[in-house]
Structure 1
Amino acid sequence: MDVSDLVDTTTGRQKRTIYSNEELYKQELERIFGRCWLFLVHTSQIPKAGDYFRTFMGEDDVIVIRQKDGSIKAFLNSCTHRGNRICRADRGNAKAFTCNYHGWSFAPDGSLAGVPLENEAYFGELDRSKLGLVQVTHVAEYKGLVFGCFDPDAPSLEDYLGDAKFFLDVWLDAMPGGTSLLGETQKMELGSNWKLPVENVCGDGYHLGWAHAGAMSAVQSMDLAGLSVGNSSTNLEGGLSVAGMNGHMALTSLDGISGYAFYPEPKPMMDYLEANRPTAIERLGKVRGEQLWGSQINITIFPNLQFLPGLNWFRVYHPKGPGKLEQWTWAMVENDMPDEMQAAILDNQCLTFGLAGLFDNDDGDNLAACTEQSRGWRTAQMDVFTNMALGRSGPRDGFPGDIAAGLVSEHNQRYFYRRWQEHMQAESWAEVPTYNINSLSVEEPENA
């Protein structure tokens, strides 16, 4: 389906049909979820051989399994006999996976391990070597985050992430102990198109003071980087909207503390930041160690992974149709944090962005309404706009990306829809453009 007229990045216009059209959705499954690197699991969730985690790549049900040699493989959760799922649990440890339908069993390496009545019914003629589980083409890890990709011609994970690693490392590599995800998967079904929550978090600081006015007032009278309840003020020097990194984005404050300043008991958080700031600067350099580590950052890895150092939630959106998704959330912590601090982070994540979270309830209602209002015959013909701060972006010393000043900007949303359109128009990976605007080498020490 031709999408050339559905998004106009020069004006910030999108056609509402992109949130409701079934044909477009099927094309997304093929050209976005069937092509991009997708988050599968954090290594902390499958630490031992035989540990597995069940997830989705688009609408494909997938099992991710730690192998005996410590490597990680992923397979379609589908029996090669008649297509039934072979694993129904969310996670666990297994020596084999057995289909409930006819009893075919598969080893953790995906090989077909057992077939009932193999000699009697198949006369010994079954070629097991051709009937193992279908393996996800590429599986790779970046500092604890495991991704998978179906496309054999996709770039490496490192190249796919590009300059987004500059921001990823603020969370993944600031402390030597690494990171973990806490608790079981918090699953919530939303009547929303999958793109809407991604763009809501990737750059929409505009909605904070309105949609979340009650929540922001309840949680320690939040005033994030000068953005107060009611959007009565905003400090353009207090934050950045960063895009132009292969579709990945960051929305960040720059004070080094705002991510933790609004916890019910902020003093232990502030003490941790103060005690470990020298380590963060040593590992990340002055720009990231002083301005970003400890700040509230919204990080988006295209197409459907987002996590927020500071509020410390980690989330993936699984599409279930043009008007439906499953939102999976965890709390995330640095392993060097004291146990009491980790527990406080989990509690705060559930309070703010969980199944009963103050902020998620606001967003869920608005995003469902935006989806519903795009289904009608007339409304589907209408435009919506992300044209705030259009043409007001550029480089900033010490940072990669195309950057607009402040947290209130629709700069990042425009880049999100630009990347959506680029993938949807491309017949293959060779036609997908690669760009890391105003690139910096994250390997070079910034405090030299």
Structure 2
Amino acid sequence: MDVADLVDTSTGRQSRSIYSSEPIYRQELERVFGRCWLFLAHTSQIPQPNDFFRTYMGEDDVIVIRQKDGSVKAFLNTCTHRGNRICRADRGNARSFTCNYHGWSFAPDGALAGVPLENEAYFGELDRSKFGLVPVAQVAEYKGLIFGNFDPAAPSLEDYLGDAKFYLDVWLDALPGGTSLVGETQKMVLNTNWKLPVENVCGDGYHLGWAHAGAMMAVQSMDLSGLSVGNSSANLEGGLSVAGLNGHMALTFLDGVSGYAFYPDPKPMLDYLEANRPTAIERLGKTRGEQLWGSQINITIFPNLQFLPGLNWFRVYHPKGPGQIEQWTWAMVENDMPEEIKATILDNQCLTFGLAGLFDNDDGDNLAACTEQSRGWRTSQMDVYTNMALGRSGAREGFPGDIAAGLVSEHNQRYFYRRWQEHMQASSWSDVPAYNLNSLASREAVDA
């Protein structure tokens, strides 16, 4: 399907049909989810040999398995005999995976290990080497995050992430102990198109004081009145909207402490930041160590991974059709944190985001309505707009990316739909442009 006229990044226009069309959705499964690097699991979820974690890549059911040598492989969770699911558990440790239908079993390395009545029914003529599990073409890790890619021609994970690593490392590498996901997977089905929650978190600071006014008043412990309902003097210089990084984005405060604004008692977290700030500065440099580590940051890895250091939630959106997603959420902690702070983070994450989260209930209702209101014969012909602050972005000293000042902007959303359109129009990875705008590396090379 030609999507050239469905998105216009120069005006911020999107056709509502991209949220409801089944042909567009099928093309997304091929050209977005079938081509991009997708988050599979955190290393903390499969620490030992034969540990496995079950997840999705688009709508493809996948098992991620730690191998005996410590490496990680991923396979389609489908029997190569008649197509049944071979693993029904969400996670665990297994020496083999056996199909409930006919009893074919597979080893953790994907090899076909056992076939009932192999000699009697197949007369010893079955070539097991041709019936192993189908592997995910590429699997790679970045500082605890394991990704998979169906396309063997895709760029490396390092190249795919590009300069987004500058922002990722604020959470993944600020302290030497690394990170972990804690708590069980919080799964929630929402009747929304998958693109809407991604763009809501990637750059929509506009909705905070309106959609979340009640939740903010209920839980915030620090002054965020600049984003409150009816306020006409929000501090537009208090943060950055960062895009132009191969489709990845960051929305961030710059104060080094606002990440813990939504905790009933932020003092233990603020004490933790103060005690570890010198280490973060040493590892990340002054700009990130002082201004970003500890700030509230919304990080988006295109197409469907997001996490928020500070509120400390980590999330992936699995599409289940043009009008539905399964949203998976965890709490994320730094391993060097005291156990009592880790417990507080998990409690607060469940309070704010997740199945009973105050903020997710607000967002879920709004995003479901936006999806439903794009399904009609007439409404599907209409457009929506992310045209706030058009043409007001550029380079900022010390930060990579095309950057718009402030948290109230639709700059990031425009880049999200630009990247979506680039993938949807490309017939292969060779047609997908790569760009890390205002890269620090290039600027340093010019200065040298």
TM-score (norm 1): 0.98
> How big is the shift at 1:240?
0.2
Tell me whether 1:289 sits opposite 2:289 in the alignment.
yes
2:193 alignment partner, SS class = coil
Residue type of the alignment partner of 2:227? L
Change (3 A) 1:253 1:52: same
1:367 alignment partner, SS class = helix
Report the equivalent of 1:333: 333
Deviations 1:338-374 (A, max 9, x none): 0000000000000000100000000000000000000
Change (3 A) 1:197 1:222: farther
How far apart, in 2, do the equivalents of 1:13 and 1:225 lie? 30
How far apart, in 2, do the equivalents of 1:86 and 1:162 lie? 36
Report the equivalent of 1:246: 246
Deviations 1:305-350 (A, max 9, x none): 0000000000000000000000000000000000000000000000
Report the equivalent of 1:213: 213
Tell me whether 1:47 sits opposite 2:58 in the alignment.
no
How far apart, in 1, do the equivalents of 2:291 and 2:357 lie? 28
Q: Is the contact made by 1:250 and 1:297 (CA closer than 8 Å) also made in structure 2?
A: yes
Residue type of the alignment partner of 1:215? A
Deviations 1:160-199 (A, max 9, x none): 0000000000000000000000011000000000000000
The alignment yields a C-alpha RMSD, in angstroms, of 1.1
Q: Is the contact made by 1:143 and 1:172 (CA closer than 8 Å) also made in structure 2?
A: yes
**Structure 1 segment 105-254 matched on structure 2, within 5 A:** 105-220=105-220, 223-224=223-224, 226-254=226-254
How far apart, in 2, do the equivalents of 1:385 and 1:428 lie? 29
Report the equivalent of 1:433: 433
Change (3 A) 1:292 1:191: same
2:40 alignment partner, SS class = strand
How far apart, in 1, do the equivalents of 2:258 and 2:378 lie? 43
How far apart, in 1, do the equivalents of 2:301 and 2:123 lie? 50
Change (3 A) 1:225 1:393: farther
Tell me whether 1:30 sits opposite 2:30 in the alignment.
yes
Residue type of the alignment partner of 2:340? E
Q: What stretches of structure 1 of length at least 5 have no aligned partner?
A: none
Report the equivalent of 1:78: 78
How far apart, in 2, do the equivalents of 1:80 and 1:223 lie? 57
> How big is the shift at 1:224?
3.7
How far apart, in 2, do the equivalents of 1:230 and 1:134 lie? 55
Report the equivalent of 2:419: 419
Deviations 1:120-160 (A, max 9, x none): 00000000011000000000000000000000110000000
> How big is the shift at 1:236?
1.6
How far apart, in 1, do the equivalents of 2:13 and 2:187 lie? 32
Residue type of the alignment partner of 1:156? S
How far apart, in 1, do the equivalents of 2:262 and 2:311 lie? 9
Change (3 A) 1:344 1:229: farther
2:240 alignment partner, SS class = strand
Change (3 A) 1:195 1:119: same
Report the equivalent of 1:9: 9
> How big is the shift at 1:221?
5.4
> How big is the shift at 1:231?
4.3
Q: Is the contact made by 1:217 and 1:229 (CA closer than 8 Å) also made in structure 2?
A: no
Q: Is the contact made by 1:17 and 1:381 (CA closer than 8 Å) also made in structure 2?
A: yes
How far apart, in 1, do the equivalents of 2:338 and 2:19 lie? 43
Change (3 A) 1:392 1:145: same
How far apart, in 2, do the equivalents of 1:356 and 1:137 lie? 37
Report the equivalent of 1:99: 99
How far apart, in 2, do the equivalents of 1:259 and 1:231 lie? 22
> How big is the shift at 1:237?
1.5
1:116 alignment partner, SS class = coil
Q: Is the contact made by 2:221 and 2:264 (CA closer than 8 Å) also made in structure 1?
A: no
Report the equivalent of 1:400: 400
Residue type of the alignment partner of 1:110? G
Residue type of the alignment partner of 1:3? V
Change (3 A) 1:75 1:44: same
Q: Is the contact made by 1:182 and 1:332 (CA closer than 8 Å) also made in structure 2?
A: yes
Q: Percent identity?
A: 87
Change (3 A) 1:302 1:231: farther
Q: Is the contact made by 1:226 and 1:233 (CA closer than 8 Å) also made in structure 2?
A: yes
How far apart, in 2, do the equivalents of 1:221 and 1:413 lie? 29
Tell me whether 1:355 sits opposite 2:360 in the alignment.
no
Residue type of the alignment partner of 2:144? G
Q: What stretches of structure 2 of length at least 5 have no aligned partner?
A: none
How far apart, in 2, do the equivalents of 1:353 and 1:247 lie? 24
Q: Is the contact made by 2:221 and 2:265 (CA closer than 8 Å) also made in structure 1?
A: no
> How big is the shift at 1:278?
0.2
Residue type of the alignment partner of 1:258? S
Q: Is the contact made by 2:227 and 2:234 (CA closer than 8 Å) also made in structure 1?
A: yes
Q: Is the contact made by 1:238 and 1:253 (CA closer than 8 Å) also made in structure 2?
A: yes
Report the equivalent of 1:313: 313
Residue type of the alignment partner of 1:233? S
How far apart, in 1, do the equivalents of 2:328 and 2:334 lie? 20
Q: Is the contact made by 1:305 and 1:315 (CA closer than 8 Å) also made in structure 2?
A: yes
Residue type of the alignment partner of 1:135? P
How far apart, in 2, do the equivalents of 1:231 and 1:54 lie? 45
How far apart, in 2, do the equivalents of 1:195 and 1:22 lie? 14
Report the equivalent of 2:273: 273
Q: Is the contact made by 1:56 and 1:318 (CA closer than 8 Å) also made in structure 2?
A: yes
Deviations 1:393-430 (A, max 9, x none): 00000000000000000000000000000000000000
Residue type of the alignment partner of 1:296? Q
Report the equivalent of 1:260: 260
2:412 alignment partner, SS class = helix
How far apart, in 1, do the equivalents of 2:188 and 2:262 lie? 25
1:375 alignment partner, SS class = coil
